[in-house]
């Protein structure tokens, strides 16, 4: 029986966290958010230099749980770049034997995820490849040249989306709709977005707690007041137990347990709701400073809205979970 993180897993998280703290501080986020790019080469290369690209290749000794732990830290740091798409593209290419796995693992080729039926993809202008994961139509890998990209002003400034149009027959089919890998990749995407949401929700909870310990009103730290203390306790109560929901969904996927698809749906639905609730509560807990652009809380708030909408809303995945349970 082992259901907590190993020292090695904690070390991987520590390494990613340290790298992002150096290369993706709030000043860089501010500059990126007001710029025109949808991709940041320096932070991407730094992450890829850690060897993260190949986490989901068979034989890496790692699995979706490890990938989720990395995506959690990326969510915490509000990292730019299509990390989730890249990890899944490597998994898809490696499992299908088609495409150039090596260039994706190293990060020299950038892949982004297009959710089946969606018109949007993050970092689309920077992407060399589009990984389309569609439960109805299968999994395709499409070179950028075959896609039409229309930049939009994106709400989430840390992972700017573009509008993407891709013809049905573009690129190469990696898995048919009936191939079990199609559903597995779609499920894995849900778990990784849930992990991003977990990291972000933890981040804004930590920011709120830190602020409540320092900010003084009425001659004392505001965190001493029960009204705020209880709000912060509820934020933590929302986030910390939900961590195990993400772990379980990733573990179930790795172990190919029968409830893995449902666990992925539950994790996506629950964590994205938690993320939105927590970022809203964080703004309330901060007061005026939290409402300023400069403070930066808004980046996580916007990212929470994007995570919620990406790959289908919580209501959609709860409806799937209800059906999968045979209700």
Binding site for another protein (CB under 8 A): 1-4, 65, 209, 212-213, 220-221, 223-226, 229-230, 232-234, 236-237, 240-245, 247-248, 251, 254-255, 263, 266, 269-270, 273, 314-315, 318-319, 321-322, 325, 327
CB of 121 to another protein, least distance (A): 27
Q: Which is nearer to another protein, 93 or 201 (CB)?
A: 201
CB of 52 to another protein, least distance (A): 20
Q: Which is nearer to another protein, 61 or 97 (CB)?
A: 61
CB of 270 to another protein, least distance (A): 3
CB of 250 to another protein, least distance (A): 8
Is the C-alpha dihedral spanning 25, 27, 80, 154 positive or negative?
positive
Characterize the bridge pairing of strands 148-151 and 216-217. Answer: unpaired
Q: Are 83 and 47 in contact (CB under 8 A)?
A: yes
CB of 222 to another protein, least distance (A): 9
Q: Which is nearer to another protein, 151 or 241 (CB)?
A: 241
Q: Which is nearer to another protein, 226 or 256 (CB)?
A: 226
Alpha carbon 18 to its chain's center: 18
Q: Are 193 and 224 in contact (CB under 8 A)?
A: no
Distance linking the first and last C-alpha atoms of the chain = 30
Contacts of residue 181, defined as CB under 8 A and 6 or more positions apart, other chains included, come to 92, 95, 96, 139, 174, 175
Q: Which is nearer to another protein, 150 or 240 (CB)?
A: 240
Q: Which is nearer to another protein, 169 or 256 (CB)?
A: 256
Give the largest CA-CA distance in the chain: 66
CB of 308 to another protein, least distance (A): 14
Residue 24 tokens read as: 């993706």
Alpha carbon 112 to its chain's center: 12
Q: Are 283 and 291 in contact (CB under 8 A)?
A: yes
- Please write down the HEC assignment for all residues of 104-140: HHHCCCCEEEEECCCCEEECCCCCCEEEEEECCCEEE
Q: Which is nearer to another protein, 135 or 243 (CB)?
A: 243
CB of 266 to another protein, least distance (A): 6
Cα–Cα distance between 76 and 13 in angstroms, integer? 11
* DSSP character at residue 39: -
């Amino acid at each position: 029986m082992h259901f907590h993180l190993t020292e090695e897993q904690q070390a991987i998280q520590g390494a990613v966290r340290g790298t992002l703290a150096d290369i993706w501080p709030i000043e860089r986020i501010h500059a990126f958010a007001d710029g025109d790019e949808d991709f940041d080469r320096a932070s991407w290369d730094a992450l890829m230099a850690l060897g993260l690209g190949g986490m989901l290749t068979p034989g890496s000794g790692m699995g979706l749980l490890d990938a989720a732990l990395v995506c959690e830290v990326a969510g915490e740091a509000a990292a730019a770049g299509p990390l989730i798409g890249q990890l899944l593209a490597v998994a898809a290419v490696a499992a299908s034997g088609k495409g150039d796995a090596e260039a994706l693992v190293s990060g020299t080729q950038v892949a982004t995820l297009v959710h089946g039926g969606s018109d949007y993809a993050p970092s689309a202008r920077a992407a060399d490849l589009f990984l389309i994961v569609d439960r109805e139509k299968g999994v395709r890998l499409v070179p950028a040249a075959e896609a039409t990209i229309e930049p939009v002003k994106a709400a989430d400034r840390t992972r700017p989306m573009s509008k993407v149009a891709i013809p049905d027959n573009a690129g190469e089919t990696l898995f048919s709709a009936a191939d079990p890998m199609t559903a597995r990749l779609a499920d894995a995407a849900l778990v990784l977005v849930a992990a991003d949401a977990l990291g972000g929700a933890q981040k804004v909870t930590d920011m709120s707690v830190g602020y409540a310990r320092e900010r003084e009103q009425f001659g004392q730290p505001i965190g001493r007041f029960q009204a705020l203390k209880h709000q912060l306790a509820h934020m933590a109560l929302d986030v910390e137990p939900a961590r195990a929901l993400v772990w379980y969904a990733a573990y179930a996927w790795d172990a190919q347990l029968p409830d893995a698809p449902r666990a992925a749906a539950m994790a996506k639905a629950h964590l994205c709701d938690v993320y939105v609730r927590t970022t809203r509560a964080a703004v309330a807990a901060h007061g005026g400073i939290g409402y300023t652009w400069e403070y930066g809380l808004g980046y996580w708030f916007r990212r929470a809205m994007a995570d919620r909408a990406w790959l289908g809303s919580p209501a959609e995945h709860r409806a799937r979970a209800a059906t999968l349970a045979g209700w």
